[in-house]
Chain A
Amino acid sequence: MNGTWMATLAQPPATADQLWTWAGYAARAEVLGAGPPCRDAIAAQVARLGTSLDALAPGVTTQLRDLETASGTRLAELLVIIQDAALLSGCVGDLLTDAARRSIQAWTEDAEGVMLDHDAADALDVFLGTSPLPDALRIGPLVAPLPAAERLLAIQLVSLHLAPRRTIMAAIRQTTQPLEHHMTKIVQFAHHTWQQILGDAFTPPSLPAVMAIGALGKSDQEELSIPRIPVTLHLTGAQPFKIKLARTLHDRKAGPDSQILALEITSDLPVEAVVLFDIGDSGAKGDFFMVARKGEAAIDANKLKQRIENDDGGIHFKRRDQGDRAIFELDIINDYKHLKASDVRLLKYGHYAVQFKGGICFVFDLYKDK
């Protein structure tokens, strides 16, 4: 797989059939700094042979037909063909038609789903030993080849290694450990797709995303006795992102019914809006929860964003800047005179939506334990 490619590259391709492989080698050599810039050389061979790379792509597709069923060194060979094609597309993309570039993209994506066996992983390690391509230019299976069996164990080792800072649950628990006995149903976070969703949020063209937290429920008594519940989420695997929430129920001296529910948010991202939906819906998890569970956050986040922006059934908090802090307040007396004093407590429960700049939405539920 390795030994003769430089020798092959040294000879111009004799026939059109050999052109694709030769061009791939030329691209690889350039990336490795083992050959001159390949574009002109490939263009010259294309002209000499009177063919085009595009015409050869379907033949490569046929060659790759057994990608899913191949194993061992054969599988490794097919992956190297795809690797070279990916390099080729990078080097001489302008010499290829959209169809050919799409074919290469399809092969590369298919390669992402390949499971390596021991022989294939060994062969790829040998290949990379002699062709140490930069990580950024490697197709998925060549980044760090591991047989499927070893990869699964390795993944678990990563989980153990990063556990304290890796999972949302761990992050929340770490931050709120002193209050943990007040928090229930944290396991519900396990159903959500935080990391994927957060990743999507930073993918151009900036899809909005929902991050849903299941519940931070407490009994009424406990809630009233604990004025602040900070929650810091430090997610890794994507852009560092922190949120600190502090929920406070202020007493206002003006009168017995005067209270302000304030949501204090410290975040890496500027907060644009805070909205409370479904007041008093203390037991229901509502749509947001389901949205997150279904993994359709990107789509439904748009709906949520619209809901926030269109003031559709939500109660908007008012922003009040305090130095570098943003306090979002819900003045119960001034804005919600129709509410009775007994409603104040209920007002704390429901679905909170926080919208950050860039369209990312953070949703969490507060409700009473039953």
Chain B
Amino acid sequence: MLCPMVYDLLEAAERIRVRAEGWEADWNRLAPALDDAIRVRIRIGFPTFTLASIDDITQELLCWYHDRATAGTLLERWDRSRSVVGFLSGSVVQHRVLDWLARGRHPLGLIKLGDAEVTEWAVPAQEVRDPDADQHRERTQITLSEMLQPPWKLATPAREVTREYRVAGVELHQRLDWTQPVARRVHTELPAFLQRLPADTWEDELRARLQAKVAVLEKRRTAAEARLDSPIIRDATAARSILAKTLFQLEVCPLEPEDLKAMTGGSAANAQQLVSSYRRALPDLVPALAQAWAVIRRLDAGVEARA
């Protein structure tokens, strides 16, 4: 037996779904419950967000929902067996947070230091592994740009150097600190790993391949940047996505599976698997990225839990 409030929302949702006469009043009943649920979801995912930020995202999402309800596209896939509030406040909320961040209006983990707000992306206070609260203040000022400043160090592997480390040695060849003992171990294994490259010139060939890939990605980046200014919002949005992916590739995975295939001599499927497992392991391989990913992992937990 459903409680009256839940039943009331279900009825309201059904009327919104079919845009029954007076559905706007039903929307006004549903919206507050939805507003609460969205806020809770944002707070869980991004506990450092300011109230104003949460307001922004929530309002934005509710406005979008209202537009969709008006157009009759909001609850097309919803059925009465599901909580309408749950249906509308699921992973879409996280997605909207990312969109909101992508538009660059707000840095991630906006935190307060005294009266001033830190305006750069920073590791939220609770993610900083520093037991000394007095030191917190300085530690929270670590910014992403500082974190990602190469050369990067590799994490010490628990046992032997795995294939993910070898791929890291290839993909991050221009970013790693090769004086580090772990990196040196990886380096010694690369000639065998890249068995299709000549043993005496493998490093030069790898660099050349990387430079060629980077050149292609740079072109893509430039093209995407030019489209950011498109007056067509859809085009600008697509450009932002492409730019994000391109920069990510430039930063951590400029080579593609076919490059690995050509250099290692493995099958296409094997090369795909190599790149895939390397990308999944990245936060564990590179401490700088692990720190940058600290927040992301919490966000991603919701996604991974479904898998």
Contact = CB atoms under 8 A, between A and B. Distances in A.
Interface of A: 61, 64-65, 67-72, 102-103, 105-107, 109-110, 112-119, 122, 126, 135-136, 138, 140, 143-163, 166-167, 169, 187, 190-196, 199, 202-203, 236-240, 293-296
B interface SS class? helix
B236 interface: yes
A146 B245 contact: yes
Among all A-B residue pairs, the 9 with the closest Cβ atoms: A113-B92, A106-B76, A106-B73, A154-B244, A144-B245, A154-B248, A295-B59, A149-B300, A144-B241
Interface in B58-79: 59-60, 63, 68, 71-74, 76-77, 79
A136 B248 contact: no
Given A148-B303, A157-B251, 4 more contacts: A70-B306, A115-B94, A158-B240, A294-B55
25 contacts: A69-B306, A103-B76, A106-B72, A115-B94, A115-B303, A118-B276, A118-B280, A122-B276, A136-B235, A143-B241, A143-B242, A144-B242, A144-B245, A150-B248, A154-B245, A158-B247, A160-B145, A161-B247, A190-B105, A192-B105, A194-B105, A196-B103, A236-B228, A236-B229, A237-B104
Nearest to B121: A156
Interface stretch (B124-132, B172-180, B209-217, B288-296): B288-296
Given A154-B245, A194-B105, A236-B229, A296 B280 contact: no
Interface in B189-245: 225, 228-229, 231, 233-238, 240-245
B297 interface: yes
B96 interface: yes
B87 A68 contact: yes
B272 interface: yes
B68 A109 contact: yes
Contacts, number: 212
A152 B98 contact: yes
B295 A152 contact: yes
B95 A114 contact: yes
Interface residues of B, number: 77
B117 interface: yes
B119 A187 contact: yes
A191 B52 contact: yes
A71 B295 CA distance: 21
A61 B77 contact: yes
Contacts of A138: 238
A238 B233 contact: yes
Contacts of B144: 156, 160
B291 to A, nearest CB: 11
Nearest to A66: B77
Contacts of B297: 149
Contact of B76 (A107, A160, A193, A202): A107
A240 B229 contact: yes
A344 to B, nearest CB: 33
A342 B181 CA distance: 73
Of A116, A147, A203, most buried by chain B (CB within 10 Å of CB) is A147
Contacts of B103: 195-196, 237
B247 A295 contact: no
A115 to B, nearest CB: 4
Contacts of A193: 56, 60, 105
Given A65-B79, A150-B248, A162 B104 contact: yes
A118 B279 contact: yes
Interface stretch (B20-28, B106-114, B133-141): B106-114
